[in-house]
Structure 1
Amino acid sequence: MGVSQSACRASCCQEAKHAQQEDRGNEVSFPARHFAADPGGLEEAAQVVWSDMPEQGFETGAIFSNSESLMLGALSSAPVEPVRSKVLDPDMEMLRGISLSSTLLGGGHLWRYSPQTFTTEQRMALYKKSKPMQHLDMFISHTWWTAGWRKAVALYFQSTASIIFAAWLFCIFMSFVLCITDVLPLPFVYQANLLGFTELCPMGCWILCSGLLGPLLASVFYIYLPCCTSPVCFVDVACIHQADQALMQRGVQGIGGFLAVTRELRVLWSPPYLSRLWCIFELAAFRKANPEGKITLKPLFVEMAVLCIWVVLFGMNICFFIARSGRNGANIAAYTLAIVPFPPAVYVLRKNYLAKKKLLVDMEEFDLNRVSCYNESDREFIHSAISDWYGSAQAFTRFVQGPLRRELVAPILATNLPWSYIFLIITPTFSLSMETLLALWKGGAPVECLIAWTAGMLLGNNCFFVPAGIVLMLYLCDRFAAPVGSTCLAGFLQSLAIVFVMIFYALVVSASSNLLIYAGVWTALVWLGIAVLCFLALTIVYSRRRPHFVDFVDP
Structure 2
Amino acid sequence: MQATRPEILRGVRVWRLLRYLPSLWLRGKRNDLHGLSQQATQFDQFWSHSWQGSGWTKYTNILYLHNCMPASIAGTLSANIACGLVSAGFLDVQQRWCLLSGFVAFCTTLLLWHPRKFVFLDIVCIHQTDNGRRGQALLSMGAFLKQSKSMLVLWDPTWVSRLWCIFEIAAFLHSRSPGCKADLRIVPPLLGPSLLGGEVLACAVCMIFLYVESSMASSEGSILVGELYLMVIGLHVVLFLSFVIHALRGYARSVETLQEQLRDFKVEHARSACCDRGHEDKSVLCDREVLLQCIEAWYKSLDRFELQVQSEVRLAIINELAHNTLSYQHVLLLSTPYVWLRLEYAASHAGDPIRQVVDLAQTFTYLLAIFPVVDKLGFRLCYRLRARCCKPYLDFLLSMVIVIGAFMLYVVCYAIQLYVFRQNDRGLLLSVISMLSWWTVAAILWRFI
TM-score by length of 1: 0.67
Instruction: Summarize the Cα distance change of 1:362–1:297 in structure 2 as closer, same or farther, 3 Å threshold.
Output: farther
The Cα shift of 1:267 comes to 1.7
Deviation (angstroms), 1:366 = 3.5
Q: How do 1:86-101 residues align onto structure 2 when only pairs under 5 Å count?
A: 88-101=2-15
* Paired letter, 2:210: F
Q: Distance in 2 between matches of 1:416 and 1:267?
A: 12
What residue in structure 2 maps to residue 296 of structure 1? 184
Q: Which has the higher helix share?
A: 2
1:537 and 2:445 are equivalent in the alignment: no
> C-alpha displacement at 1:234, in angstroms?
2.0
What is the CA distance between 1:233 and its match in structure 2? 1.6
- Out of 416, 420, 428, the position equivalent to 2:329 is 420
- Which residue is equivalent to 1:154? 61
Q: Is there any run of 5+ residues in structure 1 with no aligned partner, and where?
A: 1-86, 187-202, 546-555
Q: Which residue of 2 aligns with 1:118?
A: 28
Q: Does the alignment pair 1:264 with 2:154?
A: no
What pairs up with 1:156-171 in 2 under 5 angstroms? 156-171=63-78
Partner residue of 2:46 out of 139, 164, 170: 139
Number of positions where the alignment pairs a residue of Structure 1 with one of Structure 2: 426
Contact 2:45 2:150 in 1 (8 A): yes
1:175 paired with 2:82, answer yes
The structure 2 residue matched to 1:495, chosen from 367, 381, 399, is 399
Aligned AA (2:345): T
Q: Which deviates more, 294-303 or 424-433?
A: 294-303
Q: Deviations over 1:84-110 (max 9, x none)?
A: xxx734411232221112111157456
Match of 1:30 in 2: none
In structure 1, the partner of 2:111 is 220
Whichever of the two has the greater Rg, that structure is 1
Which residue does 2:365 correspond to in 1? 460
Question: Over the residues paired in the alignment, what is the CA RMSD in angstroms?
Answer: 3.3
Superposed CA offset, 1:520-553 (max 9, x none): 24667546544533432332343367xxxxxxxx
Deviation digits for residues 236-278 of structure 1 (CA, Å, limit 9, x no counterpart): 3322344555444444444343334333332212221112222
Decide whether the 8 Å contact of 1:366 with 1:400 is kept in 2.
Answer: yes
Aligned position for 1:324: 213
Give the 3 Å change call, closer, same or farther, for CA 537–364 of structure 1 in structure 2.
farther
Which of 297, 304, 319 is equivalent to 1:395? 304
Letter of the structure 1 residue corresponding to residue 147 of structure 2: V
Q: Secondary structure at the match of 1:437?
A: helix
Q: Partner residue of 2:230?
A: 335
The match for 2:243 is: 344
Query: What runs of 5+ residues in structure 2 fail to find an aligned partner?
Result: 279-285
Give the partner amino acid of 1:454.
L
Residue type of the partner of 1:306?
A: L
Q: Which moved more, 1:348-357 or 1:423-432?
A: 348-357
Take 1:529 and 1:335, find their aligned partners in 2: how far apart are those partners? 32
Whole-angstrom CA distance in 2 between matches of 1:506 and 1:258: 47
Report the Cα offset of residue 171 of structure 1.
0.7
Answer whether contact 1:295 1:408 (CA < 8 A) is retained: no
Q: Do the aligned residues in 1 keep the contact of 2:138 with 2:290 (CA within 8 Å)?
A: no
The worse-fitting range, judged by mean Cα deviation, of 232-241 and 529-538 is 529-538
How far apart, in 1, do the equivalents of 2:139 and 2:357 lie? 66
**2: distance between equivalents of 1:392 and 1:237?**
29
Which of 390, 415, 424 is the matching residue for 1:511?
Answer: 415
Map of 1:240 onto structure 2: 126
Q: Residue 16 of structure 1 corresponds to which residue in structure 2?
A: none
- Distance in 1 (alpha carbons) for counterparts of 2:161 and 2:84: 54
2: distance between equivalents of 1:543 and 1:510? Answer: 22
SS in 1 for 2:152: strand
TM-score (norm 2): 0.81
* Structure 1 residues 528 and 416: alpha-carbon distance in aligned structure 2, compared to 1, 3 A threshold: farther
- For 1:378-393, what aligned pairs fall within 5 Å after superposition? 386=295, 389-393=298-302
Alignment correspondent of 2:283: none
The offset of 1:214, in angstroms, is: 0.7
State the secondary structure of the residue aligned to 1:93: helix
CA separation in 2, counterparts of 1:215 and 1:526? 33
Please state if 1:475 is matched with 2:380: yes
3-state SS, counterpart of residue 5 of structure 2:
coil
Separation of aligned partners in 1, 2:299 and 2:202:
49
Give SS of 2:8's match: coil
Deviates more, 1:530-539 or 1:132-141: 530-539
| C-alpha separation in 1, matches of 2:86 and 2:201 | 27
Structure 2 counterpart of 1:280? 166
Q: Alpha carbons of 1:314 and 1:472: their partners in 2 closer, same or farther (altered >3 Å)?
A: farther
Per the TM alignment, residue 392 of structure 1 is displaced from its structure 2 partner at its CA by: 4.3
Question: 1:196 aligns to what?
Answer: none
Aligned to 1:438: 347
**Helix, strand or coil: the match of 2:51?**
coil
CA distance in 1, matches of 2:142, 2:45: 14
CA 1:127–1:390 in structure 2 vs 1: closer, same or farther (change >3 Å)?
Answer: closer
The more displaced of 411-420 and 140-149 is 411-420
State how far apart, in whole Å, the 2-side matches of 1:482 and 1:221 are.
42
Which range moved further: 470-479 or 170-179? 470-479
Indicate the SS of the match to 1:140.
strand
Post-superposition Cα deviations, 1:475-519, rounded to whole Å, max 9, x if no partner, equal: 2223223322342x2232122112222332333233332233222
Q: 1:173 to 1:459 in 2, by over 3 A?
A: same
> How many angstroms apart in 2 are the aligned matches of 1:458 and 1:368?
53
Percent of paired sites with the same residue: 21
- The answer on whether the counterparts of 1:103 and 1:109 sit within 8 Å (CA) in structure 2 is no
The structural deviation recorded for 1:384 is 7.5
Deviation of 1:389 after TM superposition, in Å, equals 4.3
Change (3 A) 1:91 1:332: same
Between the aligned partners of 2:66 and 2:80, the Cα distance in structure 1 is 24
